[in-house]
Each structure stands twice: as structure tokens, then as C-alpha cells.
A and B are shown apart, each in its own frame.
Chain A
């Protein structure tokens, strides 16, 4: 657990350095998902950085694709590509595209960026796993603003209809989207009851607490016959005092001074 906390700190540093280097990107919703992704990539998932496409691997889809700094930050730490690549984030002729690109970036299981599409893809992967009798899990991270997209609910129906218990979704419930509070822009509550009504197994946890995250994953894995969603209450901008709970850090890069201040907080 201590180890995971150390890794989380480094991933946060990666996120900030990446976004600062690219002078562009989405730190807020990346920082809120750090514990979820580190728990998955460093504890839970059956993956191999030396064989990123192995057939029986667990999959992860970052449906809220703009939070790609957290995915790249984790993949770099996990050894899928050299950490130096983060300096090229969002720059011309570089590996790390502004949103996840499965064609070129090792470890990225699905391209994403246009919101609302990841859960459908997760269902397709999960169906394939069942057809081939390969017992992998498909994890997908949704944003709380993202679930305003209608396709998410189409996919929610499909996952339940086909009893895709190998789909485990996380909802990064940080409460903020670009234009402000999710509840002001377009209310999504009650989130848990919505997913329950769509016949999903639902858990609500603290998305920064590793005990709760890992326990929730175990419970999700033990749930048979229905897909699972783990609604993770998080703080947008988590770990950087001046970014926490501020919608304006959704898609703004820190300047050099802000970067140094943030990195200091993460020593």
C-alpha cells in the first residue's frame, strides 16, 4: 500500500510535468483518477509491458480520454514506454497524442477522446472474451460529466442485457466539468440509483482510498451475471492545493512557477 502511495505521487508528478511541457492538456480530471489507475495497473490487472497486446490481458479503456495524462503517467511508470516520452506530450511528431491512441502508444487498449464511447467498446471486448473463453476483465473509466452522453446509457443497457460480468466500470465522480459544477451544468444525480435501475451492480467508494478501491474491485469480480460500476468519489485536481476542486483546472496547463509549486507539494 505504501508502495502504491509512492507510485501515485510519481504519477502525479508525471501528469504535471507532461501537461506543463505540452503547455496544454487536462490536469484536473487526471489528478482525480490517479489512485484508481495505479490500483489497476500496479496491483490488479494482468498485463505485461513487454507484451502489451497479449491475448489474455485485462483491458483498460479511458473513456474520458482527455484525462490521458494519468494514463500515460501510469503506463510510463509501469514500463510500457520511457518516461522521457512525457516531454513530447501533445507536441508535433511525438508519441503521446492529446488523447489516447491505441495504434501507436504501447499499453493503450483503445483510442478515445470523443466522450461517451468507451463503455460500448468495453462491452465488445467483454463479449469477445466470453466467446473465446478467455477470462479477462475489461475496466473502463467514465467521467461524471461524461455520463451526460446518451451513448453511455445505450451501452449500460447492453452490458446488463448480455450479463457482462467481466466489465468493471469506474466513475470518476469529481463533481466538476468544463463549465462548472456537474449539477449546475446538467444534473446527473442520483448516479447510483440510475445504474442500479439499469441492472448494474453498484458500489460507492472514496476514490482516493486504496483499501476501498481494491475491496470494491474484488467485490465487482465476485459479482456474477451483471456488470459492475464503482462510483468513486474524488477531488478534481487532487494532490495540488491550488488545483483542488477548481473547474478552471479542467483543461489548463500550469506555467513554470505553478509547476514548481505543485511539484514541491508532491515531494
Chain B
């Protein structure tokens, strides 16, 4: 299976976008080679602004550009974007509803060797708690390209969560990305797995394992955490009666919480969570970390069996 890091797809999409729209500007905070905005810089140096190691200033400058009609993409690692510059995102970007796109890379455990200080596991929670903010977590390369394009087309702040490591490509190049619309990747009747980001491909692998045991699994890719696709979630929960959520994020405040907010109100069913269980990560290879912190297809299978007993 082909593997591409979503940050690589971002770099590529950004250049394409830059060719189509001269109002696209890109900002980075000394990580352009890692976030892949360097490819935009190479083609459009006059529309690229490195602010140095200064994330607060990064977000504020992007806000200023947006007030004057530019469409800024501001990039750095997810931990710094959402942690270091939370107040700037909240007060200078989201409150005035400015058209800033925050494309944050190196999210989650799969940052790997850099360890806990660099592994954003609470960024979805932080961003989705801010009014006016759209939150997107692409699962693969093609979905990233679609998300970047779609983000540029809507007016308002968008947070796009990207990863460092290569992940399996599950969508083809004709994939039609729509903000706020979940994607049913596989239909089933016994249980629903709702996944986001890199956990989507893990969930498809889990579903394959479960099918072999005769369990019919529905797999839904929720790439837009906010606004979330309520209708799809409720319909699927109604059909299967049990849900497992899967995310590379703290189980508090992320996809699992967002799904439960919908289900608790509209269709309460048992839910189990696959995610980082309220702990910091550590150094290691991405695969070793996914194993240790229980984010593998096997862990999803385990939670599916657990939730089905609760039906």
C-alpha cells in the first residue's frame, strides 16, 4: 500500500493553491522544511513569511494579513500552534472570525522520537472548544489535498491537523472532500467504528479482522471534527447500536468526546474509546508508540468486542 505523510500532501496542495489564487500567503516559524511550507517558499518567495521562532507572532501576523483580504496559511508543529499560541488563535483569529488557516503538522504520538514535549495530544480539544473554528483531521494524502483546498474556499478560521509520518493512502485522487461530511468507508450492522486521522486506516484493518470473525462493522471517517456530521453518526448508531471511536489524541476532549456529545443528545448507545488515555507520550518509533499506547487495529478489535457486550 502506498504511504504518504499528510504534511507532504499539504506542501504539494499549498503550491497548487498558490498557483490558482494570488491571495494565498504562507507563514511559518522556522520549521518550513518540516512542515513542508518550504515548497511554497521555493515557488512564491514573495508570498512566504518566516517569522522566526515566534508562534504568537506567527498567528498575529496571519490575523493582520487576513484583515486585508489575504488567505494566510500559518504552519508550525501542532504542539506550538495550539499550545504556545492558543490565546492568539482565540482572541486575534477566532473571535474576529478572521480567514486564517492553521495547518499544524507533527500532531499526535507519531511524531515519534522527539517525545512527549512535541506530541500534541490535546490540540483537537483546544481548537474545537473555540467558537467559529472549523477543525479538520485528514486521514491520508488525498484527503489532505481536498481539505486544504476546501479550507481556502470557506471564509473563517480553520485548524487542519497533519502528521509527520507516512500513512497508508485510502482515498483515490478523485476523492471529493466536503467539510462537515463524514465518509462511510464500509457499511456494517453490528458496530460502528468512528475514526479520524491516522486511525482511519487502522480502523479499516480492524474491520477486516472482525469480519473474519463474523462481526459486521461499519467504518466512518470523521475528518471534520467540527462541525461534526451529526446526521451520519446518529443514523449509524441507530443501525448498529454500538460505537467505538478511534483517534491519535487524548480520549478527553477529542473525537470521542465530540461523538458522545452528539449521541448522548440524539441517540444514546454504548461507546468505547480508542485513544491516548490521559497520559503524555514518550520517545520511540511511531510504530512502537502506537503499540505501547494501544492505538493498533488489535486494540480497536478489543474495544469493539467490549462495546458489543454492552449492547
A-side residues, CB < 8 A to B, are: 55, 59, 101-103, 109-114, 116-129, 131-132, 138, 150-151, 154-155, 157-158, 161-162
Shortest beta-carbon distance from B62 to chain A in Å: 6
Cα separation A117 to B94 with both chains bound (whole Å): 14
Q: In the complex the two chains form, is B92's CB within 8 Å of A157's CB?
A: no
CB-based contact B91/A111 at 8 Å = yes
Instruction: Kindly state whether residue B87 has any CB partner on chain A within 8 Å.
Output: yes
Pick from B46, B49, B60, B67: contact of A117, CB below 8 A: B60
| Cross-chain contact A124 with B62 (CB below 8 angstroms) | yes
Main secondary structure of the interface of A (DSSP, over half): helix
Residues of B close to A127: CB separation below 8 A: 25, 49, 61, 64-65
User: What's the least CB distance linking A52 to chain B, in Å?
Assistant: 12
Q: Is B52 interfacial (CB 8 A cutoff)? A: yes
Cβ-defined contact, A121 with B46, below 8 A: no
Q: Are A121 and B67 in contact (CB under 8 A)?
A: yes
Q: Which residues of B contact A161 (CB under 8 A)?
A: 52
B57–A154 CB distance below 8 A: yes
A117 B92 Cβ-Cβ under 8 A: yes
Cross-interface CB contact of B61 among A59, A101, A116, A124, cutoff 8 Å: A124
Pick the contact of A128 from B60, B68, B87, B88 — CB < 8 Å? Answer: B68
Please name 27 pairs of A and B residues whose Cβ atoms are closer than 8 Å in the assembled complex, sorted by A: A55-B68, A103-B97, A111-B95, A112-B92, A114-B87, A114-B92, A117-B87, A120-B56, A120-B57, A120-B59, A120-B60, A120-B61, A120-B64, A121-B61, A121-B64, A124-B63, A124-B70, A127-B25, A127-B65, A128-B64, A128-B70, A131-B46, A154-B52, A155-B61, A157-B54, A158-B52, A158-B57
Q: Is A157 a contact partner of B52 (Cβ separation < 8 A)?
A: yes
Please name the residue on chain B nearest to A121 by beta carbon: B64
Docked Cα-Cα span, A123 to B54, in Å, equals 14
Instruction: Return the contact of B49 from the options A103, A121, A162 (Cβ within 8 A).
Output: A162
Closest chain A residue, CB of each to CB of B53 = A154
- State whether A125 and B25 are in contact (beta carbons under 8 Å apart), knowing that A111-B91, A131-B46 are contacts in the complex: no
Does B306 count as interface, using CB distance less than 8 angstroms? no
Q: Taking the nearest CB of chain B, how far is it from the CB of A127, in angstroms? A: 6
* Chain B residues within 8 Å of A120, by CB: 56-57, 59-61, 63-64, 88, 92
CB pair B60 A103 closer than 8 Å: no
Smallest CB gap from B70: residue in A: A128
Contact partner, A111, options B52, B61, B92, Cβ 8 Å: B92
Q: Which residues of chain B come closer than 8 Å to A102, judged between CB atoms?
A: 67, 96
The answer to whether B66 has its CB under 8 Å from any CB of chain A is yes
Residues of B within 8 Å of A118, CB to CB, are 60
Rounded to whole angstroms, the CA-CA distance of A113 and B66 in the bound complex is 19
Assembly CA distance A117 to B72 (angstroms): 17
A116 to B60, CA, bound (A): 10
Q: Does B51 contact A (CB under 8 A)?
A: yes
Q: Do the beta carbons of A113 and B91 come within 8 Å of each other?
A: yes
Contact, CB under 8 Å: A124 / B66: yes
Q: How far is the CA of A154 from the CA of B290 in the complex (A)?
A: 37
In the complex, A158→B29 CA distance in Å? 11
Q: How far is the CA of A112 from the CA of B90 in the complex (A)?
A: 11
Q: Does B45 contact A (CB under 8 A)?
A: no
Contacts of A124 in B (CB 8 A): 60-68, 70, 72
Question: With the chains together, A162 CA to B64 CA distance in Å?
Answer: 14
Query: Complex formed: what's the CA distance from A109 to B92 in Å?
Result: 12
Nearest residue, chain A, Cβ from B51: A158
A121–B56 contact, CB under 8 A? no
B294 at the interface (CB under 8 A from A): no
Indicate whether A123 sits within 8 Å of B96 (C-beta atoms), given known contacts A117-B56, A117-B91: no
Q: Taking the nearest CB of chain B, how far is it from the CB of A257, in angstroms?
A: 36
Q: What residues of A have a CB within 8 angstroms of the CB of B52 in the complex?
A: 154, 157-158, 161
Chain B: minimal CB distance from A56 (Å): 10
- In Å, the complex CA distance between A82 and B43 comes to 49
Is the Cβ of B57 less than 8 Å from the Cβ of A128?
no
Query: In the complex, what residues of B have CB within 8 A of residue A131's CB?
Result: 25, 46-47, 70
Most buried by A among B51, B67, B87: B67
* A106, B63: Cα distance in complex, Å: 19
Nearest CB on B from A120, distance (A): 3
CA distance A157 to B56 in the complex (A): 13
Q: Which residues of A contact B54 (CB under 8 A)?
A: 151, 154, 157-158
Closest to A116 in B: B56
Complex CA distance for A164 and B263, rounded to whole angstroms: 51
Most A C-beta atoms less than 10 A away, residue of B66, B72, B96: B96
Across-interface contacts of B65 in A (CB, < 8 A): 124-125, 127-128
Complex partner residue of A155 from B57, B67, B69, CB under 8 angstroms: B57
Partner of A121, one of B47, B63, B87: B63
Q: How far is the CB of B52 from chain A (nearest CB, A)?
A: 7
Roughly how many angstroms separate A199 CA and B57 CA in the complex, as a whole number?
17
Chain B: CB-nearest residue to A125: B64
What's the Cα separation between A126 and B70 when bound, in Å?
12
In Å, the complex CA distance between A35 and B70 comes to 33
In the complex, the answer to whether A117 meets B68 with C-beta atoms within 8 Å is no
Contacts of B49 in A (CB 8 A): 127, 162
